[in-house]
């Protein structure tokens, strides 16, 4: 593993470590730190120093998986990504710039939006409650609500939010910054939404030319930029968790495959209810994905692991312990570990003292998008057709809301 060594101030080393893009380890030489990759990709910059971590998976595939997890119905039909750049953040900015330029080439989209205002002239509808509580009987100004037809709508606000996010990301080439600045000027009359409170949009025929740009904008806004301040050191960048990209994509694609087979897929959520490992219901378990049949009974469990699966290995012991616990609690005979890379042929481990078999698979993330979806579908097909998927008795310690 490549571990570059850099001379850094304590503040800069702390700021760089805070991004989690790389692990920063002090060496025996004072002021010199060794950097090693984590499970994140992206770029961060402070002063003249820029640290980039690129994915081993093709950049176009990473961007597509990010999109598919957020909107599978749309991204399953749009599998071609701009991939002219070798830098991850640059590729995302390149795709967004191109899509946005095409979207606004015929002018900005306009639409109706609701406006609340105080005016000397009655327009639209009177907000009687606000008039009484704010004006205390005064006739003017009048608190009103009306519909305005202009360009300051949700679609343009989202494009502006994504543009501003990219412009604050350091390390982009000047040609891209110029294009993004041009987009920013075109959106000059649009209100920038507050970060974290970006408006929702609804795909329809009227905004169809914006769809590609808006889906990319959602990726940019969702993953966003990072900023860390340690003392006088300010570090900015754009960082993406690859383990989360892989897990979200796999669970979304697997859920779709399970639904096509008349099953249901349960992921850990606050309102789904809880499964327990013990009879006293004090130890909870949260499989990444639990396949349920039409009666709500667990059929099998699936866990995603973004780590290498070396030839001849079934995976780290902790992964096996985890799946064994899941299967024991849910009275299942089989469970599945799906790794991001490694051996192509699946392996199995039969657990001593229990009628449980753990299957280890690997998913080739370098496949073209449609082939990648087909590979997930084959994994689910194999899981559903396995003869060991007979549920044993009732499930102990199961409390579903």
Instruction: Please write the tens of the pLDDT for every residue from 281-315.
Output: 889 888 999 999 888 889 999 999 887 555 555 55
Mean pLDDT of the 372-395 span: 67
By the 10 Å C-beta count (0-12 exposed, 13-18 middle, 19+ buried), 78 is classed as: middle
Q: Does 311 or 77 have the greater pLDDT score?
A: 77
Q: Does 220 or 182 have the greater pLDDT score?
A: 182
243-253 burial code (b ≥16 CB/10 A, e <16): ebbbbbbbbbb
Contact at 8 Å (CB) between 17 and 24? Answer: yes
pLDDT band at 390 (very low <50, low <70, confident <90, very high): very low
Model pLDDT, residue 246? 92
Instruction: Copy the structure tokens of residue 320.
Output: 């096996």
Q: Does 66 or 79 have the greater pLDDT score?
A: 66
Model pLDDT, residue 267? 87
User: Mapping DSSP to helix (H, G, I), strand (E, B) and coil, where does residue 193 land?
Assistant: coil
% of the chain residues with pLDDT over 90: 30
Query: How many other CB atoms are there within 10 angstroms of residue 179's CB atom?
Result: 21
Model pLDDT, residue 356? 93
By the 10 Å C-beta count (0-12 exposed, 13-18 middle, 19+ buried), 399 is classed as: exposed
By the 10 Å C-beta count (0-12 exposed, 13-18 middle, 19+ buried), 69 is classed as: buried
Model pLDDT, residue 387? 43
pLDDT at residue 239 above 70?
A: yes
Instruction: Copy the structure tokens of residue 177.
Output: 């910054």
The phi and psi torsions of 277 (rounded to 5 degrees) equal -90, -25
Instruction: Copy the structure tokens of residue 371.
Output: 């082939």
């Amino acid at each position: 593993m490549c571990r570059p060594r850099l001379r850094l101030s304590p503040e800069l080393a702390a700021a760089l470590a805070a991004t989690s893009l790389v692990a920063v380890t002090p060496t025996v030489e004072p002021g010199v730190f060794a950097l090693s990759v984590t499970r994140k990709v992206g770029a961060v910059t402070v002063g003249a120093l820029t640290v980039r971590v690129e994915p081993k998976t093709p950049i176009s595939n990473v961007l597509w998986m990010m999109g598919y997890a957020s909107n599978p119905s749309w991204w399953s039909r749009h599998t071609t990504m701009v991939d002219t750049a070798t830098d991850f953040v640059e590729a995302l900015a390149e795709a967004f710039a191109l899509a946005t330029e095409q979207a606004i080439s015929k002018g900005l989209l306009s639409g109706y939006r609701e406006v609340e205002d105080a005016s000397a002239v009655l327009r639209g509808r009177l907000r009687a409650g606000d008039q009484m509580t704010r004006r205390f009987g005064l006739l003017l100004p009048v608190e009103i609500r009306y519909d305005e037809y202009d360009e300051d709508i949700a679609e343009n606000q989202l494009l502006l939010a994504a543009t501003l996010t990219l412009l604050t990301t350091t390390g982009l080439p000047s040609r891209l910054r110029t294009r993004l600045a041009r987009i920013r000027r075109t959106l000059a009359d649009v209100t920038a939404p507050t970060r974290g409170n970006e408006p929702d949009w609804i795909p329809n025929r009227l905004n169809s030319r914006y769809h590609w740009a808006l889906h990319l904008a959602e990726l940019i806004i969702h993953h966003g930029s990072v900023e860390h301040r340690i003392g006088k050191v300010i570090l900015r960048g754009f960082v993406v968790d690859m383990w989360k990209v892989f897990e979200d994509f796999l669970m979304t694609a697997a859920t779709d495959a399970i639904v096509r087979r008349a099953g249901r897929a349960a992921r850990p959520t606050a309102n789904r209810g809880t499964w327990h490992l013990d009879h006293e219901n004090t130890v909870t378990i949260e499989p990444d994905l639990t396949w349920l049949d039409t009666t709500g009974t667990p059929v099998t469990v699936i866990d995603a692991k973004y780590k290498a699966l070396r030839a001849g290995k079934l995976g780290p012991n902790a992964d096996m312990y985890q799946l064994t616990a899941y299967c024991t609690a849910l009275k299942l005979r089989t469970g599945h570990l799906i790794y991001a890379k490694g051996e192509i042929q699946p392996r199995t481990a039969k657990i001593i003292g229990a009628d449980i078999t753990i299957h280890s698979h690997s998913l080739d993330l370098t496949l073209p998008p449609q082939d990648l979806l087909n590979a997930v579908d084959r994994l689910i097909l194999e899981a559903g057709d396995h003869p060991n998927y007979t549920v044993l008795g009732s499930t102990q310690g199961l409390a579903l809301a």
